């Protein structure tokens, strides 16, 4: 993530081709410890990646999702960040 163009929120998929989500999450937290993270997954597990979901500023959305569900999840994370 370029330092001169910081993101307000990161959407992170659990299943990525080159690096697992936990590693990416840890690298992200090193660079931007307070950026909210929305984890998305299509995995059927009851609670995928519980170690990530216990972190502050992290939420989960399940695929497939509707645009209004994505909008709501993003809004919730960004609102909580300001509180």
Q: Quote the pLDDT of residue 25.
A: 94
DSSP string, 20-60: -HHHHHHHHHHH-TT--EEEEE----SSS-HHHHTSTTEEE
Q: Quote the pLDDT of residue 3.
A: 60
Q: Quote the pLDDT of residue 79.
A: 94
Torsion sign over Cα 2, 6, 59, 41: negative
Q: Quote the pLDDT of residue 23.
A: 92
Averages of pLDDT over each 10 residues, the chain, 83 residues = 76 90 92 94 80 92 96 96 75
Q: Is 13 helix (H, G, I), strand (E, B) or coil?
A: strand
């Amino acid at each position: 993530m370029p330092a001169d163009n910081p993101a307000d929120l990161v959407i992170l998929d659990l299943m990525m081709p080159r690096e697992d989500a936990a590693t990416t999450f840890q690298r992200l937290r090193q660079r931007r410890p307070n950026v909210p993270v929305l984890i998305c997954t299509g995995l059927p597990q009851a609670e995928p990646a519980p170690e990530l979901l216990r972190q502050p500023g992290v939420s989960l959305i399940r695929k497939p999702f509707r645009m209004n569900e994505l909008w709501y999840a993003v809004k919730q994370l960004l609102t909580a960040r300001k509180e």
